[in-house]
Amino acid sequence: MSKNIAVIRGDGIGPEIVGEALKVLDKVAELYGHTFNYIDVDMGGCAIDKYGDPLPEGELKKCVESDSVLLGAVGGDKWNDVPGYMRPEKGLLRLRAGMGVYSNNRPAKIWKQLSDASPLKKSIVDECIDFIIVRELIGGIYFGEHKTEGDTAIDILKYSESEIERIGRIGFETAQKRNKKLCSVEKSNVLDSSRLWKKVMHKLKEDYPDVEFSDMLVDNCAMQIVKNPSQFDVIVTENMFGDILSDEASMITGSIGMIPSSSLGASSCGLYEPIHGSAPDIAGKDIANPIGTILSAAMMLRFSFDMAEEADAIEKAVSAYLDAGYRTSDIMSEGMTQVGCKKCGELIVSYLEK
């Protein structure tokens, strides 16, 4: 099979981690007889430096016309003082909206080899922690109007029934493919948009009688994720709550560097990226953990290219690498062998087999 992959290396550690994911994809192509064509796309701070725009139209077009997009991360202190509409993260929001990827899927799973790296008590980690946060990605407060008037700043949070319904259905369908439990998270005791969210979700649940449905307020959910994370199978929530909860969920698994994500809309062309940012504090030092990006590439194969066997092979190679005791510094523990970003990628490639 031949696929065109738009590759956004971005800023900070972006180029380092994406480089390792491409090595893994190249090995998959070799083992399974596929051709992956990489189309370089500039986005973020590097695009501001080059074009004065975090995502010029031509770069967005390359993404929309590709079979899928692999992204490292964007942003950094260098661009902190540029006006809001020009910030590197604006490129990311424009990319998500331009691709119409409204459903962001972020797994939170503790790898058995990394149970020591979780900050949670052993008794909690020993329960099976394996859930997914389905986050609405192109609506809500991040996409509402933002303005500052004198000493007052305003951000608008808005959701329509149809926006809630389409992500709600993804939540139910994701639960159907897993352990059939869905928890809808909102703040309906305070926000009108959340009361609408709850009303739509309750209407939808009639269509999915096989799914055990529950509601939870977002502040309680933040507590439950650290107190009793094994209660969750699938969480569905709006954009900002999902952003915050998924970072919290990633931390209980050991490191933000381990977690991949997929973002999909109506077509099979998806956006795949690790959930962390550009980590300027460790950029250029060859110490970043590339596994979140490598597993994002595996998700791309599984969800956009229908290559489940190839995706399984990548996940098995990551597991074999961890079994062999290799760790980047973010997940390093006693008795393990510390490796850098490049070495981590090379080792995972060496464990890849058909």
Judged by CB, which is closer to ligand NAD: 168, or 257?
A: 257
- How far apart (Å, rounded) are the C-alpha atoms in residues 89 and 43? 9
Residue tagged active-site, from 53, 243, 272, 326: 243
Whose tokens are 């995502």? That residue is 55
Clarify whether 23 is annotated catalytic: no
Cα–Cα–Cα angle for 9, 13, 88, nearest 5°? 60
Catalytic residue among 187, 215, 233, 351: 187
To the query of whether residue 130 is one of the catalytic residues in this protein, the response is: no
State which residue, 215 or 238, has the beta carbon closest to ligand NAD.
238
Residue 142 annotated in active site: yes
Minimum distance between the CB of residue 295 and ligand NAD, rounded to whole angstroms? Answer: 11
Comparing CB distances to ligand NAD, the nearer of 74 and 201 is 74
Cβ at position 10, least distance to ligand NAD in Å: 6
The distance of closest approach from Cβ of residue 294 to ligand NAD in the complex, given in angstroms and rounded to an integer, is 10
What is the nearest approach in angstroms of ligand NAD to the Cβ of residue 7?
14
- Active-site choice (219, 281, 306, 323): 219
* Nearer Cβ to ligand NAD (74/120): 74
Residue 243 bears catalytic tag = yes
CA 15 remoteness from chain centre: 17
Q: Tell the smallest beta-carbon distance from residue 11 to ligand NAD (Å).
A: 8
Classify residue 159 as exposed, middle or buried by CB count within 10 Å of its CB (0-12, 13-18, 19+).
Answer: buried
Contacts of 182 (CB under 8 A, 6+ apart): 171, 172, 174, 175, 208, 211, 212, 213, 214, 233, 234, 235, 236
26, 38, 198, 247: which is the annotated catalytic residue? Answer: 247
Binding site residues, ligand NAD, CB under 6 A: 13, 17, 73-76, 89, 92, 256-257, 273, 276-282, 288-289, 292, 330
- From the candidates 102, 142, 272, 321, give the one annotated as an active-site residue: 142
Give whichever of 43 and 221 is closer to ligand NAD, judged by the CB atom. Answer: 43
Please name the amino acid found at residue 109. K
Query: What does the alpha-carbon distance between residue 63 and residue 128 come to, in Å, rounded to a whole number?
Result: 37
Catalytic residue numbers? 142, 187, 219, 243, 247
